[in-house]
Chain A
Amino acid sequence: MGTTVTHAPAREALSRDSEPRHGPVKPARPAALKRRRRRENLAGYLFMSPWIAGFLLLTAGPMVASLYFAFTDYNLFDPPRWIGLDNFSEMFGDPRWRHSVQVTLWYVVVGTPLKLIAALGVALLLAQKRRGQAFYRAAFYAPSLIGASVSVAIVWKAIFSDDAVVDRTQQLFGIDVGGWTGDPDMIIYALVALTVWQFGAPMVIFLAGLKQVPRELYEAAEVDGAGTLRRFWNITLPMISPVLFFNVLLETIHSFQIFSSAYIVGGGAGGNACGPADGSMVYTCYLYVQGFENSRMGLASAMAWLLLIAVALVTAVLFWSQKRWVHYEEGAA
């Protein structure tokens, strides 16, 4: 890996140049210590000042504002008007909102496991040192970089449209469901396919984890006569469980927030922003429609807070569950 390799020689060179150390630094007198501490505090906050300004202005402040908007009727032009829980009751009573929740959950529940299984499977394949390994790793990673672009979404829409490649291939097998992007029930699977296609990013993380598994464990297991499956289940999986946890957490959180691909793949202009018969109307799409097309900023804020709560709950459940299935090596946790 480039990073450590580059700085290791630098470390040697520089430590050779530095003064020989004369034991631990002498404890300073209390007054001097206090002065130094104050200087450190000042330096710390000086260096941190861009982040602190950003945090207050662009994160904490907006979060508070958004929480307030969630309980108001706000159309951008008139001042926000307090309406209590009306936004939430409107949401729960809105079939289109419930539909968007359903579409999103389906996308998360189907897409995330498929993507992670693909990532782990290919990582296991690539973990074997063979010729071309580095090339394949790079090539498989590439979709993760371009997958979020409008270009790929356009290509996806074309490939999955009526009479295009996917449709024709299905027909070869006698399946006649037409293109996926024109079908309200199928378009979500085109989006699932798009996210699975980007399995490269979690794959790279899995690969890094697999490289950390001590070889001796496999050798010992082999001596004991454990088969491939047993070794995978009893050695590989527990050993990479922290990495698995990390990937599950990030991919799940990420899936909840899908927007661009749903908006473009499902997109026409204006009204039917998200797919035929709202087929790809994921949560954030509906949030965008309500906030920016219908100028319902209060309602959209309420929707955003529910999304935040959902993501926080999922995160909390995952962290709670990790005691049961994530094994940190001693000293690592």
Chain B
Amino acid sequence: MSSPDLSAPLDQGAPPQATRAGTPGSGAFRRRLPGSVAWHVGSLLILGVILYPVVWVVGASFKRSEDIVGSLDLFPGDPIATNYTRLGEGIADIAVSTFFVNSLVLAVGSVIGILVSCSLTAYAFAKIRFAGRNLLFTLMIGTLLLPYHVLLIPQYVLFRNMEMINTYTPLLLGKYLATEAFFVFLMVQFMRNLPKELDEAARLDGCGHARIYWSIVLPLCRPALITSAIFTFINAWNDFMGPLIYLNEPDKYTVSLGLKMFVDQDAVANYGGMIAMSLVALLPVLAFFLAFQRYLIDGMATSGLKG
């Protein structure tokens, strides 16, 4: 596939300044007075469906295990905290905090890797004219659509031969080698929209690429960097398949794997605990979302890709 085909629909979302206040369909609604009421009722209904599972898990986490499935009440009549306090006992002799520290290490490590490697690559694509650039760009876009599962087994074999199973290297190395094409693409799009005059002026002043990258382009790319950082953190936090394949000692497990272990071992005995931990595991992602939702949604809208 060729890159222009893919970037065309993306570019449509790119210059939001050109956005009109155009609100399709609004004319029809405005003519009818109840339109506004219908709009709010509709939105609230959808909101209810969206929020239901989240509210459910909050309520269920304060219920006794045997009351969680089967009772229709969202919230228990006599809320209990034991589901949470029992998390202190850990899962299979591993403290719950261990899983959180592991996930945090991986997530922060991933963020650093993505920011460094993807911004360097994006700078080359966006700002340096070198031979073979278009070919490499097409290849990079191609990897966006490549199903990860094709790489799963050979990568596993590779890391196994390098005796890196049960380390975090297989989970992190790709992040430091810019294999997440989505973020390269996001940053390229952003850098291309930066005014050319800036780096031209800097070049006339005798600045090299390293200087332009560090002092001009990177500071201006802050929004794209923030968006990439948050998406990377959330993806790393949610990642299940990677840790499932590469980690096999419970004390190295991430939160996702810890939860899975909970499901497999303790779910029958301590169903409430599993629900409580599910909720706790979501908290970092929800916090990031609340703090940065604008960056996330804008990042989504401009480049239109899954995180």
Q: Is the CB of B190 within 8 A of A3?
A: yes
State how many angstroms separate the Cβ of B186 from the closest Cβ of chain A.
10
A170 at the interface (CB under 8 A from B): no
A92 at the interface (CB under 8 A from B): no
Given A6-B222, A66-B150, CB of A154 within 8 Å of CB of B179: no
- Report B124-163 residues with CB < 8 Å from chain A CB: 124-125, 128-131, 133, 136, 139-140, 143, 145-158, 160
Q: Is the CB of B25 within 8 A of A138?
A: no
- Report A241-277 residues with CB < 8 Å from chain B CB: 242-243, 245-247, 250, 253-254, 256-257, 259-260, 263-264, 267-269
Q: Is the CB of B145 within 8 A of A315?
A: yes
B95 at the interface (CB under 8 A from A): no
State how many angstroms separate the Cβ of A232 from the closest Cβ of chain B.
7
Q: Which of B47, B53, B60 has the largest count of A CB atoms less than 10 A from its CB?
A: B53
The interface size of chain A toward B, counting residues with CB under 8 Å, comes to 132
- Report B25-72 residues with CB < 8 Å from chain A CB: 25-29, 36, 39-40, 42-43, 46-47, 49-51, 53, 56-57, 60, 68-70, 72
Specify which of A138, A228, A243, A307 is in contact with B13 (CB 8 Å cutoff). Answer: A243
Assembled-state Cα–Cα distance A209/B12 (Å): 7
Q: Is the CB of B5 within 8 A of A319?
A: yes
Which residues of chain A are near B28, meaning CB under 8 Å? 227-228, 231
- Closest A residue to B60 using CB positions: A158
Assembled-state Cα–Cα distance A269/B264 (Å): 6
Given A140-B50, A148-B238, A155-B53, CB of A48 within 8 Å of CB of B21: no
B interface with A by C-beta (< 8 Å): 1, 4-6, 8-13, 15-29, 36, 39-40, 42-43, 46-47, 49-51, 53, 56-57, 60, 68-70, 72, 116-117, 120-121, 123-125, 128-131, 133, 136, 139-140, 143, 145-158, 160, 173-174, 176-179, 184, 190, 193-195, 197-198, 201, 204, 208-209, 213, 220, 222-224, 227, 234, 237-238, 240-241, 245, 255-256, 259-260, 263-264, 274-275, 278-279, 281-282, 285-286, 289, 293-298, 300-302, 304-307
Q: Which 5 residue pairs of A and B lie closest in terms of their CB atoms, listed nearest first?
A: A44-B130, A54-B177, A62-B154, A215-B22, A242-B9
A interface with B by C-beta (< 8 Å): 1-8, 10-11, 14-15, 18-19, 21, 40-41, 43-45, 47-48, 50-55, 57-59, 61-63, 65-66, 69, 76, 122, 124-130, 132, 136-146, 148-152, 154-156, 158-159, 161-165, 168, 197, 200-201, 204-205, 207-215, 218-219, 222, 227-228, 231-232, 235-236, 242-243, 245-247, 250, 253-254, 256-257, 259-260, 263-264, 267-269, 284, 287-288, 291-292, 297, 300-301, 304-305, 307-308, 311, 315, 319, 328, 332-333
List 30 A–B pairs whose Cβ atoms lie within 8 Å, in order of A's numbering. Answer: A3-B302, A11-B198, A40-B130, A43-B209, A45-B124, A47-B123, A48-B124, A51-B140, A55-B139, A58-B151, A63-B151, A65-B158, A76-B157, A130-B36, A130-B39, A136-B43, A144-B306, A151-B279, A154-B274, A155-B57, A159-B56, A200-B50, A227-B28, A245-B9, A247-B304, A264-B263, A288-B241, A291-B152, A315-B1, A332-B11
